[in-house]
Amino acid sequence: MRNKGILSLVAVGLFASSVSVGAVKAAEGNENGLARKAIEHQLEKPLEKGVIDHKTFNRLEKELNGSNSHSVKDFNKIGRKSRASSSEYIFETEYNDDFDSADNASYELGTIGQLLPLYDVDFHKVVVPTSGVLLVAGFTDSYAIDLVFAAMQKDFVTNSNLEYLGSEYEEGVEVQAYQAKKGTYYVGVIDHDNEYIDDNTEYDMYATATAFVDNVEPAKPTVYRVDNNDKVVTGKAEANSTVTVKSGSKVLGTAKATSKGTFSVKIAVQKEGTKLTLTAKDSAGNLSSSASVTVVDVVAPSKPTVKKVDDNDKVVIGKAEANSTVTIKAGSTTLGSAKASSNGNYSVKIKAQKKGTTLSISAKDKAGNTSSKATTKVVKH
């Protein structure tokens, strides 16, 4: 393997962009030639720190370095090598020289293969379950193989679905990283020096492995209206993510979204005007940006209390919900209204009413909720 040798998706695109899809398909069995031409434009790009965590890199490295314990005896010797398997590796199945005949790769098991005969190219298919980073690692301990590999889309299509991020090279293992959207991709493998020297034997083998890292934060949750008598917050978030509801820094409740993305988080009843924030965290630990909702007042004020009113009173006084608007009526006629104080005291100016007149008193809060009516009869002074 060449140091930092990369058959980059960008490079493949430089070549494939000048070849029609029909021409690519017509070149069945010549993917090796397409790959070689693309390598002439290869792009070397070191991987930025933090894209691959050390745990994942070490797992891939350990897996591939262990492949040299296998020998050609692990293959079924029936002409060209055919598929075998063990609890540790998948062995390539020939014919796998084009996209349609690609072997299936596994995130749990590495793949061991050979690059025979001259100009052999192997394709391995890998499925990305959701948007994230696709890691492809390659290794050989054979001096006869100059291993070059890359992830790509079918028929060398290039677009934003698969973007090359760079590679790391350590202890004979190269790990390439690609930002990938959900979909099916292919790992192409060739022996770069096969064009110049046919020195591969059935004892010369390579190994590849794949891993997937979910590095994409969930979308911001959507949240439905929350009232000041609600004990549950509902809405939609990424399927199976954990939704957390907070008031300031205080956690009010958490719950897991369903496979369809709906959630229902139990909370204590909150006061109207309280701002709630919601976040969703996926199983990989990626945290969404926060959504917010303000608790709405839907609870009507309590029925006001009213003190005795006689036939020469020009003010009605009593108690109502703090800051609510108190209205005094005689029948359908409004006699007056005023705002209760922060302590709930009110004083409403009216014209003096005749003895026996029934007055009704109601309170409306700033959210527009109206209390039930209190009544009193005007008495003689």
Give the ranges where the chain is alpha helix by DSSP (H).
9-16, 21-26, 31-39, 54-65
Q: Of the spans 2-11, 138-147, 356-365, which averages the highest pLDDT?
A: 356-365
Residue scoring higher pLDDT (264 or 69): 264
Q: What band does 36 get if pLDDT is binned at 50, 70 and 90?
A: low
Measured between its terminal Cα atoms, the distance across the chain in Å is 108
**Could you tell me the maximum CA-CA distance found in the chain, to the nearest angstrom?**
121
Tell which wins on pLDDT, 52 or 183: 183
What does residue 88 show for φ and ψ, rounded to 5 degrees?
Answer: -110, -30
Answer for the pair 196, 80: CB distance below 8 angstroms, yes or no.
no
- The residue with tokens 């934003």 is 160
Question: What domains, with CATH codes, occur in the chain?
Answer: 9-213 (2.60.120.380), 222-294 (2.60.40.10), 305-377 (2.60.40.10)
pLDDT tens, residue by residue, 55-86? 776 777 776 766 665 555 555 443 344 444 45
pLDDT digits 0-9 by tens, 168-208: 888 788 889 999 999 999 999 988 876 667 788 888 889 99
What is the pLDDT of the chain when averaged over all its residues?
Answer: 83
pLDDT (average), residues 230-245: 97
* CA–CA–CA angle 283, 289, 292 (5° rounding): 115
